[in-house]
Amino acid sequence: MTDDARNARVVLALISSMTCGAILLMWLEPRRAYSQPQTLLMAESGPSVERVVVEFGSANAAPDVTGYDCVVFPEGKVVWQPREATVRLLVLAGEAERLPAVQAEALLSVLGAMTRHGLPLDQIVLHSESDARLNTTLPSAAVDLRAILVRKGILR
């Protein structure tokens, strides 16, 4: 066997083993990293976010979502249209009694992206009408919303 043939075999073996290893690692990785589109939250031309007011709304009441800068739907979809420095963020409850995990992940992802871009945690507040401690008529999904924000250190 000549040196060139041996070198070619070694290079092909390295390429195939690295390709197989990458495919195996991608198969082991959680699916959401590739299946969900990335939502851009901060545009260079948009206003910088200085404050976030989180509100809870029920899909049964059919709230008007046009006045909100960000809406997090029960299936985890996020609609982001910033207008001002103070962002009104609506967490829209679905038919489920509890706050869906995918919706909670989407909410925390949105808030995390804002804090990574310089928003201090003390500038994220829960609207008084959406606070389950102050408004006892809210459903258990609103209690879950507040509990998640407290558990993650966003609210005190």
Condensed to tens digits (0 to 9), the pLDDT of residues 6-25 reads 999 999 999 999 999 999 98
Q: What is the CA radius of gyration of the chain?
A: 22
Alpha helices, H only, the chain? 3-28, 32-35, 101-116, 140-151
pLDDT at 33: 46
Mean pLDDT of 112-135: 87
Average pLDDT of the chain to the nearest whole number: 84
CA–CA gap between residue 38 and residue 55 (Å, rounded): 23
User: Is the pLDDT at 40 greater than 80, yes or no?
Assistant: no
Domain extent listing, the chain: 3-35, 51-151
